[in-house]
Amino acid sequence: MIDLVALTIADIPDTWAALGFDIHDASTTVGRTRHDFVGTGTGNGKGIVAWSLQGNGLEGVTSIEGLPTTVVTGVNPQPPKGSAEHANGIASIDHLVLMTPDVERTVTTLESLGLPCRRRRQGEAYGKPMSQAFFWLGNPDGGDADKVVLEVVGSPDVDPHAAQQPARFFGIAYTVDNLEATAEFLGDLMKAPVDAVQAGRKITTISSKAGATVPIALMTAHL
């Protein structure tokens, strides 16, 4: 099992505090994953810039598919579950999205680290074909707060000129307790929900005018 301990995000903490996240000392916790905000407001990068993982088989790893990686050893420093209650109603991370120029390459890398690919899917995004591969971070048999879906996304047709480029963090989808209450809190910063791919679930996104440089989606809970 490989656990997602923390994400490093190049936004200023106030941006996420304004979205209803409970921020203390430039950090917050969603589910079991700490979010560390390192932005200064002076253009020092954007989006998710690194992650911290814990698990067997990661010894000596500092980069995965070009993604800066910190391996946590010993006692997991995460705050306990439920240590942060967010005014926006967000309860856990549903999935973390990685973009890659070569899905097969990234799948092979992750499987070599002990993360089995759980599912594959061919779909479409913005009118273009898309290949997806899904993995579990954390305990796949636990509750929503104990696990995170890692979604690897890329074109099914590998561009030979881009194939050697690294993967990159794209966005996060969070699970909310009550989407209507979240909509009331966020107002026009939240777009109208639509049906998710998963039957019976709804999904929406937070508008870019909120200022976060990480694309953020919100989903109703698993049925």
C-alpha distances in angstroms, 51 versus 67, 70, 194? 8, 6, 30
pTM of structure: 0.91
Q: What is the mean pLDDT of the chain?
A: 90
The helix (H) or strand (E) run that includes residue 109 is helix 103-112
- d(C-alpha 170, C-alpha 178), whole Å: 25
Amino acid at 12: I
Positions of E strands within 60-199: 63-64, 67-71, 90-99, 119-125, 128-138, 147-154, 168-176, 194-195
pLDDT at 11: 95
DSSP class of residue 154 equals E
pLDDT higher than 60, residue 206: yes
Rounded average pLDDT over 179-195: 94
Q: What is the DSSP string of 5-21?
A: EEEEE-S-HHHHHHTT-
Higher-scoring residue by pLDDT: 145, 22:
22
- d(C-alpha 128, C-alpha 155), whole Å: 8
Domains of the chain plus CATH, in order, are 2-219 (3.10.180.10)
Say how many Å lie between the first and final Cα of the chain, rounded: 24
pLDDT higher than 90, residue 56: no
Question: Token pair for residue 140?
Answer: 């796949």
Rounded average pLDDT over 28-43: 86
Question: Token pair for residue 95?
Answer: 């999935």
